[in-house]
Structure 1
Amino acid sequence: MRLAAGLLTALLLAGCAFDADRLPPTAPLPPAAPRLTGIDRAASREHHQLVAALGGEYRHARAEQLLQQVVARLTPASDLPAEHYRVTILNSPTVNAFALPTGHVYVTRGLLALANDTSEIAGVLAHEIAHVTARHAVARAEMEQRSMLVSRVVAEVLNDPVAGEIVRDQTRLSIAGFSRAQELEADRIGVRTIAKAGYDPYGAARFLVSLSRNAELNGGASRTAPGENFLSTHPTTPERVSQAIAAARLVSNGRPGVADRDTYLNAINGIAYGEDPADGVVQGRRFQHPRLGITFAGPEGFQLDNTAQAVFGVSPDGSQALRLDAVELPPSQSLKDFLASGWIEGMTTQDIAETTVNGLPAATGVTHGKEWHFQLAAIRVDGAVYRLVYASRDSSSAAIRNFRQTLASFRRLSSHEIASIRPRRIALVTAQPGDTAEKLASRMSAPDRPLERFLVLNGLTAGKPLTPGWTYKIITED
């Protein structure tokens, strides 16, 4: 189990104490854009803790060198040309980037794999630098502190909890709008910066388009709940694309700027793509962990998310969710007693029964909250115990069936299955006369939908012919 960058919101609170009545209604989505994290108070310690929490640092000499060269070119063109920035690549397959006010900038290897030229990655880095130069993190933190103080005064000093809750709701709206405004401002500043640095100012818009298409390919667009964008801290991608194009027109002055496609592609050649098998691999609704030697599948329609704490999954309509994690348990403690000890704060596990799952000892039970019903299972595999929590808005037969099917799918991986799970990487191919997107896509070791993935990966649209002699990205296995 691993952590994805742009940390996914936990469906159940981390650790053993779960808040049963605050389960989010839908799957957490990859951020719609690069985002800003909080204020740094102890730069070195915070940096190392953050990197460790987000999958660790990914080392790729050519990519690291290129990123530092781009930052060195952007800095003099930024609003604070004397500032110093350090770029770290995070070992995460998700597409994200963010910055700390200290000048630490982070990009995931998933983002690097998606970009197609140097101006696109310059747009991402300039966006993050803009967050730093505009002091967005400080401004947001100050606003949140003021909001918390006002709501506390209303609720406690004036002894009006209801009014305090209303104030909190109103300030959440204000902060969300404030953050959206920050993102749009960072986009405008970023486009201006890359143009001043001599890069193609339209690179930012191209990458935003790829970002949106990648999210759709991975199921993000279909899993947004009604009203969820209402409090989103990021503008919608079409809004950002439109603004980025308008900003590029203002600063281009008829000069094309440098895209530097070949230099960029050569820099990311060989970079890891997708999940690191050492941390477990998600393919649609199936999770496999070759090092732990286990696998399971979520119900039909579920898209699983793998983090350091657990594997999460949510149904398309948000009415059902699951979590699988691992705990250490003394061999002498029975699984039945473990279930009875209570996982979810304030609730008692009922109907506990011992059973086996594909030859593995297990126990099951149920518990209920005000809004959510929980079906629980504990499975022992050698020295580890895996906890499966299945939450549903009701205790319908469909929810019970889905839980049982998910539990029944949990098993050991065979040695052949373990050997077949190999790392994927980005490789470069030169299009020959007669090559088509379909032909190159057929050479890919893609997790799914190879043609669509090839098009998104290369910023292409369906039906557009390839250019002989041009370099394109494909996915290969080691």
Structure 2
Amino acid sequence: MGGSLKQVRDAGRGGAGPFRVLACLAVALALSACAGEQTGTVLAPAAVKVPVEAPRVTGRDRGSDADHAKLVASFGGEYRAPATLRLLTEVTDRLVKASDRPDQSYDVTLLDSPVVNAFALPNGRLYATRGLVALASDTSEIAAVLAHEIAHVTLSHATARTELELRSQLVSRVVADVLNDPATGAQLQSQSRFALARFSREQELEADGAGVRTLARAGYDPFGAGRFLTALNRTIALKSGAGSAGEPDMLATHPGTAERIALVTRAARRTGAPGIGIDDRARYLAAIDGISYGDNPGDGAVRGRRFIHPNLGIAFEVPDGFTIENTRNAVLGTTGEGSRRLLFDQVEAGAEQGLDEVLKATWNDIIEPGSIETRSVGVHPAATAVSRGKDWTFRLAAIRVGDRTFRMIMAAKGATDPDPAFRRWIASLSAIAPEDTQALRPLRLQVVPAASASAEDLARRMAVPDRALDRFLVLNGLERGAALKPGESYKLVVE
């Protein structure tokens, strides 16, 4: 979304602003890049180190089971897929033996989340989401993800970053409070944000290089790292509705994706020619066949232009041209060219609080005077309003369904009023009975052999809301125009 996202976010600036969740989505995508951007670098390892004079304020705490349980719960709990977890554990054991710390022990947890993410804790716990596992196309790609996360542990990156963060905070606090120079303290704090972002990028590059070396030493195809990164980049572009995933700004914690793809390819070439390592594709596909794909229906599901949330007991349909995504905090939507966007979320509101007051309390920009209307949407009480920012025009609604209150926000770029589409959208909001959701079945991956060389033939069987061919190609690591190999297996998304 790039600059357009920033403009929309700025239009609703502040902690309760309307597109705060869009900003969170951008952060989530950046975090997910740590999982996918397992790209090696031909540069020397990052030279950034915590100064020896820095106060030692952290230690190597292995963490408690309670912390682990909270973290797992925040990602939807553990996902039970014995064959998949067994493969991840075997790959991890093989990588550890080839790493710089073969004595380190690791424990792998598979998370029940559709987001593409993986991360490691300093105590040797590795986490991968089912969304990440679904995106990888062979064993070398998933091994690249795990090798990168193992490198973060062996290089003590989390400890080093915490030390630098706390040292920066300490210095700015001393200057501001002890030396009574708040202006300089604030300046130092601002400078430290850029320093920490640069430090994180250099850590990623260092983990990239170590990960690719470990990947090759373990006998896996080192080019799997670049293939997975490319798939991740294409996935982000599909989600954003843009032609590319965009590049991070100066405060991003990860280097640019295009740069990393080039670097990992060069790094892999230094280990040898393509084909020297195994990718074990058939075994990998067999291990992930049948795993869940996308949202858990109970947490809300997208079916075409319709969103259904059984636990909340509501459903709605977005106007033509919108593609929507269910995130942890909101439903987000955008048109292909990015000129219109929408957001649906639940807000805290007391039973006695007027819906006009809800709009004012949850929107930090200026609501146009006289634009607030109290009305009904079907049988549900609602309040609507208009807000005009520098680059966007917003239509807002707060609607009460039972004892819950929801916001529905649509934005159009420029002075164009999105009111006609907005009214159709909010009018589609309805309560649903439990029996109406019984037919809402979860999506899953199905691994099937190709009967012909046509990707279009298999793509037509994909149970996805739009761009079935593009999603099929990304899911299987194929470029547009690529011919399938009859008899070879490929991933589909089915009900």
Name the TM tier (shorter chain).
0.7 to 0.9
Residue number in structure 2 paired with 1:269: 289
TM-score (norm 1): 0.82
Report Cα offsets for 1:233-270 as digits up to 9, x if no partner: 11122222222222222223787122111110000000
Structure 1 residues 119 and 319, CA, compared in 2 at 3 Å: closer, same or farther?
same
DSSP-derived class of the 2:250 partner: helix
Residue number in structure 2 paired with 1:385: 405
Cα pair 1:431 1:468 within 8 Å, conserved: yes
Report Cα offsets for 1:428-476 as digits up to 9, x if no partner: 11123x3411111112222221111111111111222211221111111
Distance 2:420 2:330 in 1: 22
Cα pair 1:339 1:364 within 8 Å, conserved: no
1:110 aligns with 2:131: yes
Residue number in structure 2 paired with 1:34: 34
- Once the two structures are TM-superposed, the CA of residue 158 in structure 1 deviates from its matched residue by 4.5
Structure 1 residues 452 and 255, CA, compared in 2 at 3 Å: closer, same or farther?
closer
RMSD in angstroms over aligned alpha carbons?
3.9
Report Cα offsets for 1:149-188 as digits up to 9, x if no partner: 2333344445444444433332222111111111111111
Which amino acid is 2:29 matched to? Answer: P
Residue number in structure 2 paired with 1:252: 272
Structure 1 residues 49 and 416, CA, compared in 2 at 3 Å: closer, same or farther?
closer
Structure 1 residues 23 and 211, CA, compared in 2 at 3 Å: closer, same or farther?
closer
Aligned pairs for 1:32-431 within 5 A: 33-34=33-34, 42-219=63-240, 221=242, 228-252=248-272, 256-282=276-302, 286-297=306-317, 304-312=324-332, 322-327=343-348, 329-330=350-351, 333=352, 335-336=354-355, 339=358, 342-343=361-362, 353-364=373-384, 377-388=397-408, 398=417, 404=423, 406-413=425-432, 418-431=437-450
Distance 2:193 2:186 in 1: 11
Q: Which range moves more in the overlay, 162-171 or 66-75?
A: 162-171
DSSP-derived class of the 1:51 partner: helix
Report Cα offsets for 1:75-96 as digits up to 9, x if no partner: 1111211111111111111211
Distance 2:171 2:22 in 1: 26
Cα pair 2:355 2:399 within 8 Å, conserved: no
Structure 1 residues 340 and 133, CA, compared in 2 at 3 Å: closer, same or farther?
closer
DSSP-derived class of the 1:151 partner: helix
Which amino acid is 1:449 matched to? Answer: R
Distance 1:281 1:156 in 2: 50
Which amino acid is 1:30 matched to? Answer: L
Cα pair 1:339 1:365 within 8 Å, conserved: no
Structure 1 residues 313 and 230, CA, compared in 2 at 3 Å: closer, same or farther?
farther
DSSP-derived class of the 2:398 partner: strand
Cα pair 2:324 2:333 within 8 Å, conserved: yes
Cα pair 1:75 1:83 within 8 Å, conserved: yes
Residue number in structure 2 paired with 1:7: none
Distance 1:281 1:21 in 2: 21
Cα pair 1:33 1:234 within 8 Å, conserved: yes
Cα pair 1:320 1:399 within 8 Å, conserved: no
Q: Which runs of 5+ in 1 are unaligned?
A: 1-10
Residue number in structure 1 paired with 2:52: none
Residue number in structure 1 paired with 2:16: 18
- Once the two structures are TM-superposed, the CA of residue 105 in structure 1 deviates from its matched residue by 1.0
DSSP-derived class of the 1:231 partner: coil
Distance 1:417 1:217 in 2: 30
DSSP-derived class of the 1:34 partner: helix
- Once the two structures are TM-superposed, the CA of residue 325 in structure 1 deviates from its matched residue by 0.9
Cα pair 1:429 1:471 within 8 Å, conserved: yes
Which amino acid is 1:384 matched to? Answer: R
DSSP-derived class of the 1:218 partner: helix
Cα pair 1:130 1:189 within 8 Å, conserved: yes
Q: Aligned pairs, how many?
A: 459
